[in-house]
Amino acid sequence: MALNLIVLGPPGAGKGTQAERFARSRGIPKISTGDILREAVANDTELGRRARAIMDRGELVSDDVMVGIVRERLDRDDASGGFVLDGFPRTVAQAEALDAIVDGRDPLIVVDIAVPEDELVRRLASRLVCESCGATATPATAAICGTCGGRLIQRTDDNEAVVRERLKVYHRQSEPLVGYYRTRPTFRAIDGAQPPDRVARDLAAAIEGVGRAGVRA
């Protein structure tokens, strides 16, 4: 059975890190909407050109363009044995479109990484990122990126006031996804307020539990 996974969670929950870690351990692609959007633009595909025009106007890429780009990516051979989606879907409308895309495949497993808001604010307000490659670090790390050697800086949108506003946007736009998926037998929620290794173990255990139950979406 192909392992088709969606990792949900608010900003600062660590979903990108956990998605990357899990995908690597299972030998399946981690599909980030940011990555595939940049790839489509760089490759000058029809959808990439549409996305570039939208972004050049300073607007958000529409659902239909994002759905089209995700559909193209999931149609590639390397995703036939499974995938981990990070950053998509972000809205219920996108989730409904994704259901249509994967119709006929093995079921989607959905894991929500839940973290209390005060912990999210603490994490994001103390986060450092590499100005060269974008890798995330913490103040406890040296001032040099361990990935590329670039300088670590704080993102302008990682101060407490902006972080709390970003979380309001998440609650309004993306949190309804949890309600959309919660009643499915392939949905699990895990505690993301733990050390990363414990979260990784709980994520793997939740997914294995779905497999042992033999449930279908």
**Annotated active-site positions, please?**
15, 90, 127, 155, 166
Rg (CA), the chain: 17
Buried b (16+ CB within 10 A) or exposed e, 31-65: bbbeebbeebbeeeeebbebbbeeeeeeeebeeeb
**DSSP secondary structure, 175-214, as one string:** THHHHHHHTSTTEEEEE-SS-HHHHHHHHHHHHHHHHHHT
Structure tokens at 108: 């989607």
CB neighbours of residue 24 within 10 Å: 12
Q: Which stretches does DSSP call E strand in the chain?
A: 3-8, 30-32, 82-86, 108-114, 128-130, 136-137, 152-153, 187-191
Would you say 12 and 160 are in contact if contact means Cβ atoms under 8 Å apart? no
